[in-house]
A and B are shown apart, each in its own frame.
Chain A
Amino acid sequence: MINVKNAHYGQVDHKVENIFEGKGIIILPSQQAWQKFSWTRKHFQKKPKEGYFIWVKKQPVFPLTTCITIASKKISQHLNNLLVIEKNIKAKANVVCNAAADNLCGLHQAQGKLILKDKASLEYNHFHQWGKKDLVNPDYQFILGKGSRLVYNYKNLAPPKNLQLKTSIYNNENASANLKFVINGLNSKINLKDTLFLKGKNSQGIVNLRLVGRQNSQIEAISEIFASAAAKGHLDCQGLLVSQDSVISLIPKLVCQNKKAQLTHEASIGKISEEELNYLRSRGLSEKEAINLIITGFLEIE
């Protein structure tokens, strides 16, 4: 389990708790990176106050981990994160952002830029776990160089009161992106916007959304692909509405600006099947246990 103590970059509230650098991997607070490496300034856009800078220059032999926690009441985090993977390097990152308690009323605002240089590869596992009263607003950009590969898994099983999640992916020539968002809506308002720009020839991307509307949740997901080159893209948006007092709206959008591009989508919102529920209950599971198992399966959480 990743926490602030064992992560390569650990931050609690506004304080950097620890940094462990590996061979060929530079990890700094964003402010220091702004000072030390002038080239980072164009990526940060403005001088960062907090957040991390990770520069993977050599092939890592372990997954990179970061953990940013809100542990005190009414904390407002404004993070600027920058992750750069150099050419031909294959990396994996496990990233946790969370609240240490359920009632901290925190604000977690994060602007992130992840750059994969040519033929680099990144598996980025992004876990969120928040308190009931938190406001969370991440805005991430992924820039994929030629022939690079991104696997991005976002998982949020304990949502905040309000989640505004924005993700943009820019695929250059032969780059591929595979994104999956798994969100369990519970007493929360969730706005999700993901946009995949297929800019390069033979680039491709798949976006999977798995959204569950449990008690008192409003979820709106706008999922877009823009193709300006001969590229392939697919959106797979699925919602499961569990509670009568919840709403899910899915808006898939495909914009094709190249006649050789191929874009497809599928979107559906369903309810828990009575037959499946009854089947599991006939195996001795209570109604609640059966619903939880069906949701777990829908979200494909092992």
Chain B
Amino acid sequence: MFLEIKNLKVKGNGQEILKGINLKIKKGECQALLGPNASGKSTLAQVIAGSPKYRVSQGKIIFRDKGITKLPPEKRTKLGIALSWQNPPAIKGVRLEKLLGKISNRKIENKKLDLDDNLLDRQVNLDFSGGEKKISELFQILSLNPQLVILDEIDSGLDIKRLEKFARLIKKELIDKKVALLLITHSGTILRFLKPQLTNVMLDGKIVCREKNYRKVLQVIKKYGYDKCKKCPLWAS
């Protein structure tokens, strides 16, 4: 298995946030993770990426047959894991171009993402609009040349035209190149463009549903909200 998470329990600020997560992603597979606010989606993303902010109290994360539960974030990145942050912090005084120069493993053409020189010349994430943050995140992720990408709410703050463009790029640069993908989304908008092979639903720190047909999941959530997932026959075992 490419990525395997076994019975993962995680604490943050003394509270249990993830309450026994099991998740498997194959090489080149695209999976989605849906859930309401504060269900633990971003925490899971941060924990896979190795954030020291959270403490793993139980369980394991295995990536390419290697236990990475205790690895620091930079080593996970070197192994090929890349996380696009939902709310990336500003790094004052550091221009985006300089950061890219330090982290890039491959050159990405600016025009692919409408990344203009003006944005490259600005301080990382400082006063970036929602859309600019997403462009910057995706550009950085592509530059890392990763093997597993977690996109945390990449579709929020983007208008439909730009979202379509992003989705096309994600398909071309990641999915078509057999990069495994975990799409974290609150609204599910991007799923229509990327058509994940498996859709997971997370509620209160647990994955409660796994379904191959993402349309079915989106329909249920749209019609009944996330509460319906608790009673749904698709309940994850």
Interface residues of A (CB under 8 A from B): 273-276, 278-287, 289, 293-294, 296-302
Contact = CB atoms under 8 A, between A and B. Distances in A.
B73 A282 contact: yes
Contact of B73 (A276, A281, A293): A281
Contacts of A284: 74, 77-78, 103, 144
Given A281-B73, A283-B103, A296 B94 contact: yes
Given A281-B50, A284-B74, A284-B144, 12 more contacts: A274-B52, A274-B53, A279-B85, A284-B103, A285-B74, A286-B74, A287-B74, A294-B91, A296-B93, A297-B92, A297-B123, A298-B92
Contacts of B78: 284
B17 interface: no
Contact of B89 (A273, A287, A300): A273
Interface residues of B, number: 28
A297 B93 contact: yes
A83 to B, nearest CB: 30
A15 B90 CA distance: 48
A293 B85 contact: no
Q: What are the 7 closest A-B residue pairs judged by CB atoms, nearest first?
A: A297-B93, A297-B94, A284-B77, A281-B73, A300-B93, A283-B103, A282-B73
B102 A285 contact: yes
Contacts of A279: 85, 88-89, 91
Interface in B83-136: 83, 85, 88-95, 98-99, 102-103, 123
Contacts of A287: 72, 74
B42 interface: no
Contacts of A275: 53, 89
Interface string B176-188: 0000000000000
A281 B123 contact: no
Contacts of B92: 297-298
B123 A293 contact: no
Nearest to A293: B94
16 contacts: A275-B89, A276-B91, A279-B89, A281-B50, A281-B74, A282-B51, A282-B83, A283-B77, A284-B144, A285-B103, A296-B93, A296-B94, A297-B94, A298-B92, A298-B93, A299-B93
A282 B77 contact: yes
Contacts of A289: 102
A279 B87 CA distance: 10
A285 B76 CA distance: 11
A159 to B, nearest CB: 20
A192 B152 CA distance: 46
Nearest to B76: A282
B198 to A, nearest CB: 25
Contacts of A283: 77, 99, 102-103, 140, 144
